[in-house]
Structure formats: structure tokens, C-alpha cells
Amino acid sequence: MGFFLWPLMMFLWIFFIILILWLILYPKDKDEDLLKILKEKYVKGEISKKEYEEKKKELEKNN
């Protein structure tokens, strides 16, 4: 019975290795998310234009 399960185990190992490599090599860009949130707050009127521009410059400076 174990002989017939080795292809499944091999597939699972390959899947997990590819998943780990993908998570390491293609991380989500957090600065873009922060800029998107900042823009949404500006559009909603939660922050002024001056605050928006100051915070945007700060985020771009840290990039």
C-alpha cells in the first residue's frame, strides 16, 4: 500500500517547496498598500490635502 502513496507524497513535497519559494520571492509590497489606504482616507475626507501630501512624501522617502 505504501508503494502506491509515494507519488502523492512526492507531489505534496513539491507543492510545499513551490509555495515556500513563492512566499519568499514574491512578497506583497506593503508601501503600495499604505499609499492606497492613505489615498482612500483622503478621498473620504478623513485627512486634508496637506496631510495627504506630507504622509505621501514620508512614505516615498522611506521607500
Full residue range of the structural domain in which residue 53 is found? 2-62
Q: Where are the alpha helices (DSSP H) in the chain?
A: 2-25, 30-44, 49-62
pLDDT tens for each residue of 36-49 = 899 999 999 999 99
Rounded Cα distance, 7 and 2, in Å: 10
12-62 per-position pLDDT tens digit = 999 999 999 888 877 666 667 788 899 999 999 999 999 999 998 988 887
| Number of domain units in the chain | 1
Burial class (CB in 10 A: 0-12, 13-18, 19+), 30: exposed
